[in-house]
Structure 1
């Protein structure tokens, strides 16, 4: 059974219980109120009649005037009541009994004592007789029963109308509540089939609306992931095609005798093979890092001396480009680290600065300890910089700022992505922003007690 049918039955059952309870309460309350009203009305009328009979008895001195004319009791009973309301109740006098002071029947049919109510008749000082009448349950006639039957039929009619309204309201409520669930089910089926473009865009402010927006966010993430994966495969194929095409062209030229087979041409082939190998290694490292399979060997090492060692290996290259290197390093910076991976990180950062900093520029490297015992490593280089919209994308796979990078001087755009994975594995953070020197400011925060 579907959730719509379940909700429909739940709502219908709830409404039916409420309607039956309300109808039953109305019917019982009406019947009880009617009996009470009739009893009080008749008692009031009989008491007025008793007062009038007491006055007549005092005038006549006995009950002989009623025994001689029993119909007079009917007229007196009618005169004691509300003439307008009692037009249909003129037969009620037939149930009256007139008793003497000793409760002997003078006028009226006999009635069991347990079903009658006695109203004393007084002539001012003494009780001279009694008027008795039965309760309403004992004298209820066909007219009363027909009236109560009409009320019962009205209650049943109300119950039928309530049942119809319950069916309609239950169906509408179930449809209203299940509609977003069915839409979510259809939407998730589309996501399962690989269609991430559709959105539900619900304006509801309840839990279903929150769930709908979360599913839309999931679809957005999946869509972005699919597009990124497509770009990833396309970029990998493009990056691999370039060095392979160069190698193929060089080899065909050597085979056809267009280019001589000498040391210089062989070095060119070796350079292309080295670039291709470097790209494949970077792709392999990045794949391992994304899958959490890149191995790390953590031990306590001095990060300051590691930075000096790596930077010393680049000083010659920086000097050839007339790039000034400035360092602000502590005497010692001990922390748990994988020196091989951190050396790989520093190599990527210094290679980027060497490739993209203009001749005669500047490189500034600093390492400072923060108040929370973390180590803050910053690398600043001079112009050219990167646009504002490119800063958050610098650590994406295969991303390059086209205005400053090309395949002759730039890499495949994997170095900074690998750097981010290495920093995250050390429990740190990596950010890029504009440098006051005109280039890029790379900021790395590493915990003093990194794993």
Structure 2
């Protein structure tokens, strides 16, 4: 059974239970109210009759007038408000004595009428001149309920039956509409997810709902957007990789063809040029492999206590000759900074950051590396001088194969993987990395890593 049918049956059963419960409660309450009303009406009618009899007894001095003419009791009861007697006998006819009333002597001995029932019998006293001269006895209202009351009760039952049928029809309609309304977005989500599974990531659901289903639709649309972004990034990633590999391979192929054709001599200089291209290609492939492992969470780390300042000194010693050749002034502030981390991966991070500054700092520029405490973290700040980075490029510096220069010229930049790999290394150590504008006019990289003992 589908969810629509389940909801339909659930709503219908709920409505039916509510209708039956409300009808039963209403009928029971009405029965009680009607019985009480008839009792009170009968009580008032008999009391009025008792008043009339008391007046007549005071005038006649005994019950002989009533015993000689029993129909007089019916006439008096009719005058006291007997609707059924009025309707059946008419205004010009004298009614017989009522069959449910009994006139009793003061000692409760029957004088006129049927014997009163032993149970469920009511007695109304008759007084004349302050003295008790008799009783009027009558049974409970079930014995004296007139035809009008019964017809009214029958009409009420028919009305309730009609309302129950109308309620059933309305319950069917409302249950179907509610089930359809609730299941409609679920059905739409099913169709939409099927389209996402088939690769239609641009498809979106439109909904103005503000409930949980509306929130689910919003999340599914966000999922489709992320999948579309992932597909575009994957396509761009493959295109960038192909571009990065094509350039050194094209150079190698051109150099080798030139040597084969005798255009270029096969000497030490030519082999060195080929070796440089192979080295660049190998570096690119290794970076791609490391980045793939980092994205998959398979890049291995071996954490141990170490001194981050000593690691920075070693990385600076390796890059100082290149900085001096370019005339770049380097300032450092490296206090002792114990940390727990992988020395190989952190050294790879530092090498990537320093090489990036070296490649993108003008001749005769300036760089500064500062290590200081920031709460429970160590903050490593690397600033360099011009050229700077546009505002729109700052958030994308850590993307795969992204370089600021549109020409993708390798004379100044690498493949655009160093910062992406560095971000994965920092995140694996529980830290953060961000790119800002440097006060020297270039780029500022801030790395925050948890402090060790």
User: Fold match, TM over 0.5?
Assistant: yes
Matches within 5 A, 1:342-357: 342-357=346-361
Structure 2 stretches lacking a partner, 5+ long: 90-94
Find the aligned partners of 1:394 and 1:299 in 2 and give their Cα distance.
30
- Aligned-pair CA distance for 1:103: 4.1
Find the aligned partners of 2:3 and 2:339 in 1 and give their Cα distance.
58
Q: 1:394 aligns with which of 383, 393, 397?
A: 397
Contact 2:385 2:440 in 1 (8 A): yes
Aligned to 1:241: 246
Structure 1 stretches lacking a partner, 5+ long: none
Find the aligned partners of 1:366 and 1:89 in 2 and give their Cα distance.
115
Q: 2:230 aligns with which of 225, 232, 242?
A: 225
Aligned to 1:365: 369
Aligned to 1:167: 172
**Number of positions where the alignment pairs a residue of Structure 1 with one of Structure 2:** 447
Find the aligned partners of 2:78 and 2:451 in 1 and give their Cα distance.
108
More displaced, 105-114 or 126-135?
105-114
Aligned to 2:92: none
Aligned to 2:203: 198
For the aligned residues, what is the CA RMSD?
2.4
Find the aligned partners of 2:234 and 2:161 in 1 and give their Cα distance.
67
Contact 1:199 1:219 in 2 (8 A): yes
Find the aligned partners of 1:29 and 1:391 in 2 and give their Cα distance.
77
- Aligned-pair CA distance for 1:153: 1.2
- Aligned-pair CA distance for 1:341: 1.9
Change over 3 Å in CA distance of 1:400–1:88 after alignment to 2? farther
Per-residue CA deviation, residues 114-157 of structure 1 (Å, 9 max, x unaligned), is 35432222222333222222222123355433332221111111
Find the aligned partners of 1:345 and 1:55 in 2 and give their Cα distance.
120
- Aligned-pair CA distance for 1:396: 1.0
- Aligned-pair CA distance for 1:263: 2.5
Q: 1:264 aligns with which of 260, 269, 286?
A: 269
Alignment of 1:250 with 2:232, yes or no, is: no
Contact 1:98 1:132 in 2 (8 A): yes
Q: 2:306 aligns with which of 296, 301, 321?
A: 301
Aligned to 1:274: 279
Aligned to 1:61: 61
- Aligned-pair CA distance for 1:315: 2.3
- Aligned-pair CA distance for 1:74: 2.5
Find the aligned partners of 1:67 and 1:306 in 2 and give their Cα distance.
131
Per-residue CA deviation, residues 303-347 of structure 1 (Å, 9 max, x unaligned), is 3233223222222222222221222222x3332332222222222
- Aligned-pair CA distance for 1:101: 3.7
Change over 3 Å in CA distance of 1:427–1:120 after alignment to 2? closer
Per-residue CA deviation, residues 4-46 of structure 1 (Å, 9 max, x unaligned), is 2222222211111111111112112222222221221122111
Aligned to 2:2: 2
Secondary structure at the counterpart of residue 364 of structure 2: coil
Q: 2:424 aligns with which of 421, 425, 430?
A: 421
Change over 3 Å in CA distance of 1:174–1:362 after alignment to 2? same
Change over 3 Å in CA distance of 1:44–1:345 after alignment to 2? same
Change over 3 Å in CA distance of 1:17–1:261 after alignment to 2? same
Per-residue CA deviation, residues 142-183 of structure 1 (Å, 9 max, x unaligned), is 543333222111111111111111112222222222222223
Secondary structure at the counterpart of residue 233 of structure 2: helix
Find the aligned partners of 1:342 and 1:213 in 2 and give their Cα distance.
40
Find the aligned partners of 1:31 and 1:310 in 2 and give their Cα distance.
97
Alignment of 1:13 with 2:13, yes or no, is: yes
